[in-house]
Amino acid sequence: MPQISVIGAGSVVFTGRLIIDLCLTKSLYGYTVVLMDIDEKRLNTMYSLATRYIKEMNASFTIKKTMNRKEALTNADFVINTVKVGGYEPMEIERKIAEKYGYYRGIGDRVSDYYGGIGAYHQLNFFLDLARDVEDICPDAWLLQAANPVFEGTTLISRETKAKVVGICHGHFSYTEIVKALGLEIEDVDVTIAGFNHNIWLVNFLYRGENAYPFLDQWIQKEAEKYWNSSEFLNSPPWSVEQLSPAAVNMYKLYGLFPIGDTVRSASPWWYHTDLETKKKWFGPTGGFDSEIGWSIYLNQLKTMLDQLYAWSNSPEVALIKAYPPSFSGEQHIPFIDAIANNKEVQLQLNIPNNGAIDGIPNNVAVEIPTLINKSKDDRKKVNALRIGKLPKRLMLHVLVPRMLRMEQILQAFLEGDRKSLLLTIIEDHRTKSFEDASMLIDEQLGQSWNTEASKHYKQ
């Protein structure tokens, strides 16, 4: 039977959701699901919970577990990558080092976390290694890239290997929060969202066939201030309220299209992020997802979730379907697999090479875009981006092209092991005080014990 292999299956964010989505997708019953992780405790926990959940749901999957990646890839038809190399701790130490040199919240994009440390080295290195194994061991498998950075990762894999890769993120679903705030019927809304991962924009917003942006303009004029003073905005976790935050509204005014999902965090201009007080002004009382407050809420939540999973796995008497009722997670991995495997036509929001979809972006840059899965017999022809055409010039020049350039710099530094390029990228940061400081920062970060390999890789 066909096989789905989850690499990094100890993931707090993904594995539970994937298993529930699978249980709700009867057309995939009979599949083998291989869970692979290097952390034995997490792997055993996810394996036992997955096995129990499937049984409680009366679903029919064969679940296997392994700590050997090559074994997991053998016979795989779909490979889902949810790996975070080294966990989050080293990134926090690197962040502290950067703060010593004046880089508040660390180096990286506005979101210093998701690159996974300096130059995104560990994540990119892992992605390439995995994709090369896929080429060798299961060359016909689809590689579903969920681990961050999705933009750099999907571009890298699609350029450097023959693996059939798609990047998948759930961030675009945040448009539904706009729909809810405007009081529109979701079934009558039609959106086109496009850009790069964590940098996506509401290109078209239609309600019953008519442009719905005027509703949004009206909400901004009449309702926004009220919302920003409401207990919903003031007391919710940052990721639930960023979509309609002052930052999002101001970005819309600046760039001409409304930013969607993580875009509000990671593509917002640097002057929203200079210190905690400024962040609070733009993102609400926590200072947003990536402030010292917001990010520690997130990390604590991940830890609580992991502890909860351990507790459930040690309590066989707990009915998991009661603790975690089955409903579709909104993740697109299983719908993608279902569409490809069972020849279904669906539209998803995927990260794939541009190939002419957005004007002014090279073909070999991964864009996040509405994508039609069709019934073509040739697997590679099944995945087709909708054509977007031109995006507003100001948005292109001030947001998308600079972000693309940064992705190219990171990939070039990674592929050529070029420490000078890494240094030049960091020096361009508006917070850099001197060439010497930036050089010392890189040396200090690469001098950390977990960066020994990275330090050898980025040659002086």
Nearer to ligand NAD, 94 or 421 (CB): 94
Distance from the Cα of residue 317 to its chain's centroid: 35
Residue of minimal Cβ distance to ligand NAD = 10
Shortest Å distance, C-beta 83 to ligand NAD: 4
Greatest pairwise CA separation for the chain in angstroms:
62
Q: Which of 37, 113, 262, 290 is catalytic?
A: 262
Nearer to ligand NAD, 83 or 248 (CB): 83
- The least CB distance from residue 4 to ligand NAD, in Å, is 15
**192, 370 contact by CB (below 8 A):** yes
Binding site for ligand NAD (CB under 6 A): 7-8, 10-14, 37-39, 42, 82-85, 87, 114, 126, 146-148, 150, 168-170, 302
Is-catalytic flag, 170? yes
Contact 131, 66 (CB under 8 A): no
Q: Distances in Å between the alpha carbon of 309 and those of 19, 319, 417?
A: 14, 13, 39
Structure tokens at 358: 């957005």
Structure letter (DSSP) for residue 117: S
CB of 309 to ligand NAD, least distance (A): 10
Distance from chain centroid for Cα 341 = 24
**DSSP letters for 230-297:** SHHHHHS-HHHHGGGSHHHHHHHHHHSSEEETTHHHHSS-GGGSSSHHHHHHHH-TT--TTSHHHHHH
Please give the distance of CA 110 from its chain centroid, rounded to a whole number. 15
Q: Does the N-terminal peptide bond of residue 149 adopt cis geometry, omega within 30 degrees of 0? A: yes
Smaller CB separation from ligand NAD, 39 or 408? 39
Looking at the Cβ atoms of 13 and 181, the one nearer to ligand NAD is 13
Burial class of residue 426 (count of CB atoms within 10 Å of its CB; 0-12, 13-18, 19+)? buried
Among 39, 170, 398, 418, the one annotated catalytic:
170
Rounded to the nearest whole angstrom, what is the least distance from the CB of residue 384 to ligand NAD in the complex? Answer: 21
Q: CA quadruple 66, 68, 73, 78: dihedral positive or negative? A: positive
**Catalytic: 398?**
no
- 31 versus 114: smaller Cβ distance to ligand NAD: 114
Nearer to ligand NAD, 10 or 335 (CB): 10
What is d(CA 336, CA 66) in angstroms, rounded to the nearest whole number? 24
Minimum CB separation from ligand NAD for residue 197, in Å?
8
User: CA torsion angle for 377, 380, 381, 385 (degrees, to 10)?
Assistant: 150
State in angstroms the smallest separation of the CB of 263 from ligand NAD. 13
Side chain identity at residue 394, one-letter code = R
Which residue numbers are catalytic? 170, 262
